[in-house]
Amino acid sequence: MWKWALDRAGVREPVLRRDYTEQRRVVRRFATAEYAAARLLLPAALLPHVVAAVAFMHDTDDRIDRGAPDERAAALVEWDGLVRKAFAEGDSGLPVLRCLVRTAERHPDVRVYVEGFLRGCELEVAWRAIADEEELEQYVREYSLPALMLTACLLAPADVSGRAVFMDGCHRLICAMQRIDFLEDLAEDVRGGRLGVPADAVARHRADLSRPGAALGRLVEEQADRAATDLAAAFPLTGVVEASYRPFVRALVGVQGLRLDAVRRAGASLAVRSSGPPGSAAAVLLLREVAARARRAPRVGL
């Protein structure tokens, strides 16, 4: 399957095939469920390019997520230079960038979102707290959305009107995803001194983020409600992409619903532990989409 996917994606050079296979191992290790969804639900020709984009995003996050703010900023400057050099020369000493360059050659929109993502990383390395909804929207617009679009742009419809609906849906989806991320990681973020839940909401509820309590429970429920509103607004995505991408997009949106349900169940206990959807529920959702895709596949006569 993987070798066939490389063939369909136009990756035929032995060195690049090894590079993409290396990125596949990385992505499969740190994002097992997401890789499984892409592997089972996306057309084979798209899979290596999705892997390349996700691997690049993961490598970037890993490089800029360690040390003090000035160390993270310096790491970003160095990485930005390596990425730009790779695009300028059409090659790199790093397999992850060789794959990124080839994927951007086949899908030029990727290059656009690489630029936006790297600019957004400047905000990511600098932030320590989010004051209010306006700052959260800025964070999503400048960092989270370009990060999502590194892969989502591979699924974008060609027509202008469809792209407008697609972009709005992606924006609403990542708004929900980012808010869910901040809730899931509340305990870890508090310990690390980087708080994603808007500070004005924390103050309004007079919530103590370090221990479970009724006020924190109300804060979690409020933030979950906001995420639910954005997630509901993202559902048009499933109708605007081409038919072969719809099972994957439905699964992606559906998993966010499972994550949101888990956050609601955890409530105030998020002060001391993270949350996530049951693996069995995610597996059932994925298998349902695999079965639906199989039913819609054209039958070959005997």
Q: How far apart are CA 70 and CA 50, in angstroms?
A: 31
| Region of 208 on the Ramachandran plot (φ > 0 left; ψ -120 to 50 alpha; else beta) | beta
Tell me which residue has tokens 């001194």.
Answer: 193
Nearest to 136 by CA among 65, 79, 202: 202
Domain boundaries, the chain: 1-126, 133-302
- Per-residue pLDDT reduced to its tens digit, 4-44: 999 999 999 999 999 999 999 999 998 888 899 999 999 99
The architecture of the domain spanning 133-302 is Orthogonal Bundle (1.10)
What pTM, to 2 d.p., does this model score? 0.92
Query: 114 and 179 in contact (C-beta within 8 Å)?
Result: no
Q: What is the pLDDT along the chain (302 residues), one digit of tens a residue?
A: 899 999 999 999 999 999 999 999 999 998 888 899 999 999 999 999 999 999 999 999 999 988 888 999 999 999 999 999 999 999 999 999 999 999 999 999 999 999 999 999 999 999 889 999 999 999 999 999 999 999 999 999 989 889 999 999 999 999 999 999 999 999 999 998 889 999 999 999 999 999 999 999 999 999 999 999 999 999 999 999 999 999 999 999 999 999 999 999 999 999 999 998 888 898 899 989 998 877 766 544 43
Residue 236 φ/ψ, nearest 5 degrees: -55, -20
Spell out a b/e string for 9-28, using b for 16 or more CB atoms within 10 Å of the CB, else e. bebeeeebbebbbbbbebbe
Q: Which residue has the tokens 């559906």?
A: 254
204-222 residue pLDDT tens: 999 999 999 999 999 999 9
- Return the H-helix or E-strand segment holding 136: helix 133-139
- pLDDT tens-digit series, residues 253-282: 999 999 999 999 999 999 999 998 888 898
